[in-house]
Amino acid sequence: MIKNTSPPLAAEPPAIDGFTFVRPIGSGSTSNVYLYRQSGRERPVAVKVGNVARDARAAARIIHESNMLGHLPKHPNILPMLAMGTAGHGVNYLVFEYASGGSYGKLLRTRTLTCGEMLDLGVTLADTLCVVHRAGVVHRDIKPGNVLIGDAGEPLLADFGIACSVYGAGDAGYSIPWAAPESLTRQRPCEATDVYSLAALLYAMLAGASPFEYGYRPKSSAQLRNIVLSKPVPPLRRADVPESVESLLRRAMEKNPADRFPTMEDFARELRQARQAAQPNHAVAPGARSGGDDAPLPHMPARTAVRLFHGFPRRTHARMALMLVLSVAPAALLLIALAGGHLDSVQSPGQVHVLDADEPIDLDPAPEATHMALGLTRKPL
C-alpha cells in the first residue's frame, strides 16, 4: 500500500467560545481535527478546522462542506454537524459529534470482514447514499477512512468536503485508490461515481487493501493512477466469497460509468439480493433496513424526477408526490436551520452557531485514538 504522506498535525488549535480544547485527533490533506469539550453540556465534540497554511483551498472547503451538509436530511448513518463558526484570525470551523469507535480505515489495518459482514455494510451504506443522492449531492470521497463506527457498531458516513451537487463538476479533490476513472480524468461526477467508490471500499474490506493496490502493488501514486485507468479489477483470492458477489463488485467498478449500476438504488437492490442469497436466514439488526416496508423510497435522480413523473399512471403520481415531499422536507428544514447553508452568515470570531444538541456522552480519554480527517464516531440516535 502506498504510504500516506500527509504533513503532521498543526500544533495550535483555535480558541472557540463555549468549547475547551482537549487534544488533537488527526489530520487530512486540507484540515485538522481536534477533540474539544463543549461547556455546559460537558460532552466531547470533534472540531474540523481548515489548514490554510497547508492548502489555500482549505477555508473554501470548510464552507463548501457546511453547504453540502445543509442539503442533507438528518440520518442515522450520516455523521451530523452540530455547529459552525469562525474563530480568531478568521478561521472557519465545523463541530461534529464525537465518540471513540474509530473508522473502517482503522479497522482495515487489523482485520478484513467476512462476506456477510461486507454485505451488511454495503446494504447500509448504499441505502444511506440513496438518501444523499436523493438530496442532489454526490459524495465523491467514499473510502474506509470516511466511514466511521458508532458506539453501537453502526457505520457513519462522514467528510463531505469535496462533495458536489449533481448539477456541478466539483473541484479536483479525490483519493486515488478509491476514485472512479472519471474522477481521475476530471470528468463530471454522477451517481455512478459513488457506486464505483463504494464498491472499491467493499472490495477492500474483503481484500485488506484497495482493489488496485491489492492486485498490482504499485510503487507510486502516478503508477496507481495509470493502473486504475487501464487495468481490470483484480480477482479476490478468497474461497469464502461467491463468484456472484465478486462479479457484482466488478460490475460496480467498470471503467465506463454507463456500464455500472446506473443509480445507487440499483446497487443497493443487488447487494440486498446477494445478502439474501448468501444468508437466507439473515437476521436484520434493529433499526437496519432490509427491504419491504423499511426499504428506501423509490429512487429518482434529481435531474430526472420531473421528467419521469409523466411516465406513470395518475394514481401513481399522488403516491410519488408524497414520497418526494417526505424526502425533500427534512432537507428543506435543515436548510432553514442553516440560514441558507452558507458561511457568509457565519458569526463573528469566537462565536458559534449551534444547530443541534443531544444528551451528553462520556469522553473516552484514551490518547491513543488516532483517526484521519474526521476519523470520528458518535452516539447512536
Tell me the DSSP string of 241-298. S-HHHHHHHHHHT-SSGGGS-SSHHHHHHHHHHHHHHH-TTPPPPTT---SGGGSPPP
Active-site residue, 140 included:
yes
Domain boundary among 97, 123, 140: 97
What Cα–Cα distance (Å) separates residue 316 from each residue in 105, 134, 266, 298?
A: 43, 19, 20, 12
Helix, strand or coil for residue 227? helix
Domain annotation covers residue 378: no
**Residue 143 marked in a binding site:** no
> Whole-prediction pTM value?
0.71
- State which amino acid sits at residue 174: Y
Tell me, yes or no, whether 242 and 140 share the same domain. Answer: yes
Domain boundary among 97, 119, 145: 97
- CATH number of the domain residue 45 falls in: 3.30.200.20
Name 243's Cβ contacts closer than 8 Å, sequence gap at least 6: none
Domain annotation covers residue 295: no
Contact 134, 299 (CB under 8 A): yes
The C-alpha cell at 264 is: 445507487
Nearest to 108 by CA among 71, 67, 143, 69: 143
> In the 8-state DSSP scheme, what is residue 145?
G
Q: Please give the backbone phi and psi of residue 233, each rounded to the nearest 5 degrees, phi first.
A: -60, 125
The C-alpha cell at 121 is: 455494510
Domain annotation covers residue 303: no
Contact 207, 217 (CB under 8 A): no
The C-alpha cell at 180 is: 472512479
Tell me, yes or no, whether 83 and 152 share the same domain. Answer: no
Domain annotation covers residue 289: no
Tell me, yes or no, whether 196 and 81 share the same domain. Answer: no
The domain in which residue 264 lies consists of 102-278
Strand locations in the chain (E):
19-27, 31-38, 43-50, 81-87, 91-97, 137-138, 147-149, 155-157, 164-165, 351-354
Tell me, yes or no, whether 67 and 174 share the same domain. Answer: no
Residue ranges in the chain whose pLDDT is less than 70: 1-11, 53-56, 99, 165-174, 280-381
Element (H, E) at 117: helix 115-134
Tell me, yes or no, whether 266 and 198 share the same domain. Answer: yes
Tell me, yes or no, whether 185 and 268 share the same domain. Answer: yes
Considering its fold, how many domains does the chain have in total?
2
Q: What is the DSSP string of 287-325?
A: T---SGGGSPPPP--TTTHHHHHTTS-HHHHHHHHHHHH
In DSSP terms, which residues pair with 352 in a beta bridge?
85
Domain annotation covers residue 208: yes
b/e sequence 106-124, b meaning 16+ C-beta within 10 Å: bbbeeeebebeebbbbbbb
In the chain, count H helices and then E strands.
11, 10
Domain annotation covers residue 308: no
In DSSP terms, which residues pair with 85 in a beta bridge?
93, 352
Place of cell 403520481: 317
pLDDT score, position 268: 98
Tell me, yes or no, whether 141 and 251 share the same domain. Answer: yes
Tell me, yes or no, whether 249 and 157 share the same domain. Answer: yes
- CATH number of the domain residue 232 falls in: 1.10.510.10
Tell me, yes or no, whether 265 and 191 share the same domain. Answer: yes
Tell me, yes or no, whether 135 and 263 share the same domain. Answer: yes
Start-to-end CA span in the chain (Å): 36
Tell me, yes or no, whether 118 and 221 share the same domain. Answer: yes
What Cα–Cα distance (Å) separates residue 326 from each residue in 297, 298, 319, 322, 356?
A: 10, 12, 11, 6, 21
Residue of 140, 250, 269, 272 marked active site: 140
Tell me, yes or no, whether 138 and 268 share the same domain. Answer: yes
What Rg value do the Cα atoms of the chain yield, rounded?
20
Domain annotation covers residue 28: yes
Q: Please give the backbone phi and psi of residue 200, each rounded to the nearest 5 degrees, phi first.
A: -65, -40
Domain boundary among 50, 76, 97: 97
Domain annotation covers residue 194: yes
pLDDT score, position 165: 58
